[in-house]
A and B are shown apart, each in its own frame.
Chain A
């Protein structure tokens, strides 16, 4: 199979040649390296880099791989992690994915990663390979991938370009994830004009293993073999990370222009599915010493990370790499981002057994090198040395920047622009119209146009999935032990106050997990921001990281890892700061999960837990009705969130709660609409007479959940809430004989009318 024109063997530059020609000009600027970064490479090597070395440094020192603008802020994670929080972690930041102990000898690994820029250029393949990459991160920990979630942001729902990007992204996730056989159990779909030209595609994967089977990416043991296995290496995605993720995106082709291939990689989920099963068998047979997936920066990243995490060096014969294009240079082989490849370190005596397992799965496996004594990564090409570098200088000693930080001058005016001045609906008729208008708005309406394209059933362990607040899957079929996972972020809140807004994202994901009946255990994140060279953006970023770290400390759950994506902006307009927070929870027995829909029990009472205050800053009401963003986001009280979660978990354990749904965007009105529609059961609701019905229906105060409790449990449950100091209010009753939502003194909504409002919007925009 050849994608390139037949041509003569390209010129290959050796280390000896680089030494002999110190003054030869090099195209480091085109590869995204700054003058001082280039000078540093020369000083590390004591000479100018070869073409291949330059390619490696350019991708490894890119923002995407080196976290050069964000690294200095990571101290917040460290400073806010107590011993008690650390005790639950089996692996944390710095590994391919965080790993936590969920009990009974099970370990769960989870991570979320962005694939934003590729998904704008080529929505289907960008989103598909985003899924592929995060799944390989999970396999590289030794775990079986169990489920996916996707956190998505698009431009205005009705914008022409959104009609190109959204269907492509949904189809890419569906096409890749479904073919891999992983259930998709949750995530978000959010629209805002700032994401036009810069959608966010964040893919999360959850995997499980026996705790003793944890595999870390190490290349230990002199003489051990380095095996590249999976797909062949081609010209796709070359320089993807340095071009796409380092500088403001310009759409330029990377490389020499000799071969024009898309810089977005093309995925093959079938190859990945087979690779997963092959890796799991290799792990079971204990044939792997260290393993690393090939993602951004391809072999450059895999070899340098494996070598620098181990206790020796590494020698690689690059010409042994199986190629699918003719005439590739060493630099291209090293920076290719061809998908579905893994790199393993294997003891020589296990080599034959390793290759046998690969052959069984028809997976191509090639010995490309070995672990050596000393501290060099040496790469040869047909016998000549083309790379000779200290691997740590690539993988761990990249540049670190203290980017300037400045609170934007406009922040005060933004916060002063309170939604209090906005006209509110008055009277029953206007309130009724507002409920329906909100339910049909793009950010609150049913997501099933997107999520019905995802297989949520495969592997048979899915207990909760969209539109539930949290996804939940069984891990141990014998005991029923399982995990819940949710992702959240309201970028509008974060824009108004990055510190509080990020804590609100944490609070919501935490609450969502607990709403399913699971105990929140650990946190991951994907921090999507504008240009790192904009001091205002860096202020948002710094505030967000600090808010999240300090919030996690208050909740007592560790941050196990994260991903940063800068340069999400079009021209001078940055996206809403979007620190997506993923929370993982655990449940002893998923049979005790709390479903989202009412009507499962005869005779249920609806209780609203938590306090409702007049909070409309950043709310969906202000956005939908007035196109307004200003003021302050809702207050956050993490100790209250913790108490609420404890009550929900206790209620689920003792069978006191028959359904639950959290309150977030759109407030109580939206939660009631969804509760009735998901349960396909009517309800009668009575609002309190001491608070404005508008505030009760649409305020977005945090720390609230609507629960349905069987009438027989009502007293026991409310006594529990009272004893623990959690405010509650009897809000109504479920009425199995009714096919309407009746909000007394406001309006009655037939279920059919609500369904029409909630379900018609996305099909209307993107095709029935």
Chain B
């Protein structure tokens, strides 16, 4: 089982993503933004950070990096792809996920432990969770407010594509408290909070985030079987 983690210039949480993949028991494969090559991975994670300094718009430049061509191609063919934080922004910019992420409503970066409800357990990245499970993971972002028009939001809700929702307190003004969404197939998921930072209670609030990586592994195995 090989899961890739892409490093763009300015990517920061790639080391944490690699660690989380390894903790889940998969082989982590480092992917470089300048290489249009997925090195035979079974799934891809776009980690958090400030790719290209978030210049222009978060994710807007990374979306054109050479590595994104095979990522988009594989995603369209059904490879599980996860975007965390800046990775979510890149997936939205690439048109793989609907909506956009804008500046937090309080106009400040916010880093805190955040409760999320897992709203969909049928995506490639969430089958390990009980429906409605509440998990505690860090959120840390300055441009994390999820925006889409009412019709798009209704569609997402109607098709069960809201994957994670903030509970207790919405940290960034996301519409309908949305923390993460999926594409129509449930193979591509993006979320602003950081499950890779909740894989060991020593260095994170919980290990609630491991289920994301374990789910993808189950999913790839089932696909292969």
Spell out A's residues near B (CB within 8 Å). Answer: 171, 174-175, 178-181, 268-271, 273-274, 361-362, 448, 452-463, 474, 590-591, 767-768
Size category, B interface:
20 to 34
**A552 shortest CB reach to chain B, Å:** 31
Select A455's contact among B10, B106, B140, beta carbons within 8 Å.
Answer: B140
Interchain CA distance A308-B41 in the complex, whole Å: 52
- Which of A271, A452, A460 is the one whose CB lies under 8 Å from B197? A460
Complexed CA–CA distance, A7 and B197 (Å): 53
CB-CB contacts below 8 Å: B8-65 with A: 9-10, 12-13, 15-16, 19, 49-50, 52-55
Contact call A454/B203, Cβ cutoff below 8 A: no
Bound form: Cα–Cα A616–B110 in Å: 37
A457 pairs with B15, CB closer than 8 A: no
In the complex formed, the residue of B with least CB distance to A767 is: B106
Shortest Cβ distance from residue A4 to the other chain B in the assembled complex, whole angstroms: 23
Given the interface contacts A181-B12, A768-B106, does A454 sit within 8 Å of B111 by beta carbon? yes
Known A-B contacts A181-B49, A270-B50; the reply to A455 vs B203 at CB < 8 A is: no
- B110 x A270 contact (CB < 8 A): no
Contact A456 B111 (CB under 8 A): yes
CA distance A403 to B203 in the complex (A): 49
The residue of chain B having its C-beta at the shortest distance from the C-beta of A591 within the complex is B202
Q: State whether A459 and B15 are in contact (beta carbons under 8 Å apart), knowing that A270-B52, A454-B111 are contacts in the complex.
A: yes
Complex CA gap A269/B12 in Å reads 12
Closest residue of B by beta carbon distance from A178:
B109
- With A174-B109, A178-B109, A453-B111 as known contacts, state yes or no: A269 contacts B53, CB within 8 Å: yes
Q: Which residues of the other chain, B, contact A453 by a CB distance below 8 angstroms? A: 108-111
Tell me which residues across on chain B come within 8 A of A591, comparing CB atoms: 202
* Contact string against A for B residues 105-128, beta-carbon threshold 8 Å, 1 for contact and 0 otherwise: 010111110000000000000000
A459 contacts which chain B residues (CB < 8 A)?
Answer: 12, 15-16
In the complex, B204 has a CB within 8 A of chain A? yes
**Distance in Å: Cβ of A764 to nearest Cβ of chain B:** 14
CB-CB nearest in chain B for A458? B12
Q: Report Cα–Cα, A462/B108, bound state, in Å.
A: 22
Q: List 19 A-B contacts (CB under 8 A).
A: A174-B108, A179-B10, A179-B54, A181-B12, A270-B53, A270-B55, A271-B53, A273-B10, A273-B12, A273-B50, A455-B140, A457-B16, A457-B204, A458-B12, A458-B13, A458-B140, A459-B16, A461-B203, A590-B202
* Closest partner residue, chain B, to A170 (CB atom): B108
B15 lies within 8 A of A270 (CB): no
Bound Cα distance A457, B112 (Å): 9
B111 and A457 contact, CB distance less than 8 A: yes
Q: Are B50 and A179 in contact (CB under 8 A)?
A: yes
Asked if B165 CB lies within 8 Å of chain A CBs, one says no
Q: Mark B132-152, 1 if CB is under 8 A from A, else 0.
A: 000000101010000000000
Q: List B contacts of A273 (CB < 8 A).
A: 9-10, 12, 50, 53
Q: How far is the CA of A269 from the CA of B52 in the complex (A)?
A: 10
B161 at the interface (CB under 8 A from A): no
The distance from the CB of B196 to the nearest CB of chain A, in whole angstroms, is 8
Docked Cα-Cα span, A472 to B38, in Å, equals 36
Known: A271-B53, A452-B111. 10 other contacts (CB 8 A): A174-B108, A178-B142, A179-B10, A181-B49, A270-B54, A273-B9, A273-B12, A458-B16, A463-B202, A590-B202
CA distance A458 to B16 in the complex (A): 8
By beta carbon, the residue of chain B nearest A477 is B19
Contact in complex: B16, A460 (CB < 8 Å): yes
The distance from the CB of A32 to the nearest CB of chain B, in whole angstroms, is 35
Given contacts A181-B49, A453-B111, A455-B140, contact A361 B19 (CB under 8 A): no
**Which residue on B lies nearest to A454, using beta carbons?**
B111
Of all chain A residues, the one with the shortest Cβ separation from B204 is A457
Across-interface contacts of A268 in B (CB, < 8 A): 53
Instruction: Among A362, A448, A461, A474, point to the contact of B9 (Cβ < 8 A).
Output: A362
B194 close to chain A: CB less than 8 A: yes
Residue of A nearest to B199 (CB): A460
A270-B9, A458-B13, A463-B202 as given contacts; A175 in contact with B49, CB under 8 Å: no
